[in-house]
Amino acid sequence: MKQAPKSDEHWLARPRTIRQLWIVFIAILVLTVLAQVFIKVKGYFGVDGWFGFGAAFGFLCCAAMVVLAKALGPFLKRDDRYYDD
Amino acid sequence: MTEWTSPALILLAAAILIGLTRGHLRSAVILVAPLLTLWAIWQVPDGVVGTVRFLDYAIEPVEGSPLRRLFATIFSIMAFTGGLFAFRHARWYELSAAFAYASGAVGVCFAGDLITLFLFWELMALFSTVIVWCGGTPAARKAGIRYAMMHLLGGVILKVGIEGVVVHTGSIDIQPLLATNFDTWMILVGILINAAAPPVSAWLADAYPESSPTGSVFLSAFTTKTAVLALILLFPGEPVLIGVGLYMVMYGIIYALLENDARRILAYSIVNQVGFMVCAVGIGTQMALNGAAAHAFAHIIYKALLFMSAGVVVYRTGKNKCSDLGGLFRTMPLTTICGIVGALSISSFPLTSGFVTKTLISQAAIDQGLVVVYFLLAAASAGVFLHAGIKFPWFVFFQKDSGLRPKDAPWNMAAAMVLFSALCILMGAFPEAFYRLLPYPVDYHAYSPGKVLFYLQLLLFSGLAFFVMLPWLKRTPTISLDTDWLYRVALKKAFSVLADLLGSAQERAQRSVQKLLQTALARIQRHHGPEGVLARTWPTGSMVLWVAIMLASYLILYYLL
């Protein structure tokens, strides 16, 4: 195992590739929502069949969980040597 | 004689042989014994196979059923693949302990009565503790002691429950119960401690990440999933389990989001995944129990795969913390890809094993009209992708360039990871073959276009949320407080305060006794000491004077009277 210089040119680490990956990712996101025009998502409890419900629900739930974790952080987080003393 | 011999004994014999053999012979024992066990598992017919009388109890060491064979099958597959992953790197006593531990798990699967179940249960507790200790660091030693204490406590509670049931019902059979009285509650609590249920979930994330890179692979598989099997056998449809399971699901996500240690993230996600299974057992329908069993089977594979990829990283770099890792995909492509397959499976991405098993549980919630449970499980599915599906591979293999350029996995570790990656994808792609192994008939199609689209939306937008909120998820070199704080800090402080109090009370008592003695001594001294009134020497003249006075008084008295 050796230390290498930080600026290597692996194709996945290039800014250009990262930009392209973002474009592809956003295109896929848009497609999964638009696909609901052609594919019926069965709503077992009403709302879950709404257009784009899965997308909105997934995003908002994750955002809420990140916010909750962030809010709990000051109460729960301690330096990782906390128990060593 | 042989008819009631549990397949678990093959692994137990192997555990002893691992200690007695060397070199290639030991490797052969490690790789062949789990396959022999797998063969023996499929020879066990349905129903009780033989009974042994012991102290007036009818012991049933082996009872077969599709459910029991399913769990025993995955445990023996796990022992094989774990052995393959570890046999060139782990020390012999760690491998021996791992096989004894696996033997305990297989033994629980076929236990026809509560006494046999308890014996194998304790075998697991004993040897899993040894595996934690094999971490070899002072932290592992301390974590192992805490782990042992928790599991011995769980064992005692389980034993109290079992004895209560035996005394009050006269039966040691394993049959569905409901937590309605003290005895059954004790059994339920004893099992839930092993399932890492609240309020003691902390033991899992405390102990597993302290073990060796190979030890954590074994630890991830057996204890919690045996607890799930015990819940399916003893408490199907117990309503309290729905709430317990949902709590575990959310607990795992939040703590994993806060965590910095790569293997501890995975440990929290075990609690999260076992939460799905516990919730399914609480729902209790055939569809739900199928879901719990299937999800346990799939979970053992993808969670071991994730621990293997993390284990290779720890083995090659010696680093655990996300804040020290990153950019490893450059030199560890195979480990990265296998880690990603495991991460996609745990997130129940379509075409992976997690998708075909977790949706069984969601379907069970739908069938029972449990709206809140269904939506919470859907939210948790999104959360799993967030904390394990993306966070783990992102911070370990991508994120920043840490400058580390470790070699990829050794051949045997690579083979184990490829085998489990293939199983994750095969199960996801061909669920029907797997569904035939489940305990109840399955009338369910995982891949309806609408369902696939719903989950793709759910998961991909969770991914978007991760990258949009990445600055908020920045790793910090911290740990998170949990209920184990109570016995690691609060109890310790309480003891030292109590010791101080007792110490000062003792000091005070000592001081007052001393003072009392001193006063008494001083008083005695005054009267009887060399200078005391009663002990001092008087001059002869004063004595003569006194004698004269006395004689004179005598003469006067005689004259007067």
Question: pLDDT (tens digit, 9 = 90+) per residue, A29-46?
Answer: 999 989 888 888 888 888
Tell me the pLDDT tens digit for each residue of B9-64: 999 999 999 999 999 999 999 999 999 999 999 989 888 888 888 888 888 889 99
Instruction: Report if residue B527 sits inside a domain.
Output: no
ipTM for the complex?
Answer: 0.88
Candidates B257, B340, B454, B470: best to mutate against A (most CBs of A within 10 A) is B454
pLDDT level of residue B388 (50, 70, 90 thresholds)? confident
B265 and B215 housed in the same domain:
no
Task: Average the pLDDT over A52-80 and give the result.
Answer: 91
B130 and B59 housed in the same domain:
yes
Kindly list the residues from chain B whose CB atom is less than 8 angstroms away from the CB atom of residue A67. 472
Instruction: Report if residue B516 sits inside a domain.
Output: no
How close B309 gets to chain A, by Cα (Å)?
Answer: 17
The pLDDT of residue B2 is 52
Instruction: Report if residue B142 sits inside a domain.
Output: yes
Are B403 and A72 in contact (CB < 8 Å)?
no
Phi, psi of B434 (to 5 degrees): -70, -40
Contacts within 8 Å (CB) and 24+ apart, A21-26 = A25/B463, A25/B464
How close A17 gets to chain B, by Cα (Å)?
Answer: 14
Domain final position from B425, B455, B474: B474
CB-nearest partner of A55 from B317, B375, B461: B461
Domain final position from B418, B446, B474: B474
Instruction: Report if residue B539 sits inside a domain.
Output: no
Tell me the pLDDT tens digit for each residue of B297-348: 999 999 999 999 999 999 999 888 888 898 889 899 999 999 999 999 999 9
How close B382 gets to chain A, by Cα (Å)?
Answer: 6
B317 and B219 housed in the same domain:
no
pLDDT level of residue A85 (50, 70, 90 thresholds)? low
B54 and B170 housed in the same domain:
yes
B169 and B310 housed in the same domain:
no
Which residue in B has a C-alpha nearest to residue A11's C-alpha? B330
Structural domains of chain B, count: 2
Task: Average the pLDDT over B132-154 and give the result.
Answer: 94
Which residue in B has a C-alpha nearest to residue A38's C-alpha? B450
Extract the tokens encoding B542.
């004063």
Q: Based on the number of CB atoms within 10 Å of its own CB, is B437 exposed (0-12), middle (13-18) or buried (19 or more)?
A: middle
CB-nearest partner of A82 from B321, B386, B479: B479
Instruction: Report if residue B90 sits inside a domain.
Output: yes
The pLDDT of residue B1 is 43
Lowest-confidence region among A12-16, B283-287, B377-381 = A12-16
B75 and B165 housed in the same domain:
yes
How close B391 gets to chain A, by Cα (Å)?
Answer: 12
Mean pLDDT taken over chain B: 91
B358 and B442 housed in the same domain:
yes
C-alpha angle B372/B254/B295, rounded to 5°? 60
pLDDT level of residue A82 (50, 70, 90 thresholds)? confident
Which residue in A has a C-alpha nearest to residue B488's C-alpha? A83
Whether the per-residue pLDDT at B211 is higher than 90: the answer is: yes
Domain range for B31: 1-229
B342 and B438 housed in the same domain:
yes
Kindly list the residues from chain B whose CB atom is less than 8 angstroms away from the CB atom of residue A3. 403-405
Candidates A61, A75, A82, A84: best to mutate against B (most CBs of B within 10 A) is A61
Candidates A66, A68, A78, A85: best to mutate against B (most CBs of B within 10 A) is A66
Whether the per-residue pLDDT at A4 is higher than 60: the answer is: no
Instruction: Report if residue B300 sits inside a domain.
Output: yes
Query: What percentage of residues in chain A have a pLDDT greater than 90?
Result: 39
Distance CA B506, CA B513 (A): 11
Distance set, CA B260 to CA B273, B387, B396, B486, B505 (Å): 19, 11, 10, 22, 45
Whether the per-residue pLDDT at A2 is higher than 60: the answer is: no
B287 and B154 housed in the same domain:
no
Domain final position from B431, B456, B474: B474
CB B435 within 8 A of CB B445: no
Whether the per-residue pLDDT at B523 is higher than 60: the answer is: yes
B105 and B56 housed in the same domain:
yes
Who's near B100: CB < 8 A, 6+ residues apart? B11, B12, B15, B123, B126, B127
B416 and B440 housed in the same domain:
yes
The pLDDT of residue A7 is 52
Tell me the pLDDT tens digit for each residue of B442-459: 989 889 999 999 999 999
Instruction: Report if residue B529 sits inside a domain.
Output: no
B137 and B84 housed in the same domain:
yes
How close A55 gets to chain B, by Cα (Å)?
Answer: 5
Query: What percentage of residues in chain B have a pLDDT greater than 70?
Result: 98
Q: How many CB pairs under 8 A join A and B?
A: 151
How close B205 gets to chain A, by Cα (Å)?
Answer: 14
Are B480 and A40 in contact (CB < 8 Å)?
no
Instruction: Report if residue B502 sits inside a domain.
Output: no
